Amino acid sequence: LLRRVRDFAAVSGVKVVDAGAADAALQRMEVDARGLDAMDRRYLGVIARDFQGGPVGVETIAAALSEPRDALEDIIEPYLIQQGFLQRTPRGRLLTAQAFAHIGLSPPAGLGANQLDFLGDDDV
């Protein structure tokens, strides 16, 4: 990514890459303020719109995006998890309320409410 920012700056005639030049390059590459690119937002959008935020299996997501599973697991998901947008669970991938807010959608009612049902008080 750094190399691409330098390339954009060089093409624009910028000799020193300052914050403004870097921001302009990132905008041209469609990288948002949280560091998500178009593919990251596409990934979040598919889970949000097509699967109501999850849980959904990685194979299903890969098929919906026409991307290899390995690319999702090795390239896309780690950053989304670090940013608090995605959770990997035994049942599948889940979006957080923060992810819905970032892509401009309202989370479904009860988001996260049933994730830990097995710990409910009724079993005591």
Question: Which pLDDT tens digit goes with each residue over 50-106?
Answer: 999 999 999 999 999 999 999 999 999 999 999 999 999 999 999 999 999 999 998
* Stretch(es) of the chain classified as CATH 1.10.10.10: 38-106
Structure tokens belonging to residue 34: 């949280």
Q: How many whole angstroms separate alpha carbon 28 and alpha carbon 16?
A: 18
pTM of the shown model: 0.77
φ/ψ bin of 12: left (φ > 0), alpha (ψ from -120 to 50), beta (otherwise): alpha
Which class is domain 38-106? Answer: mainly alpha
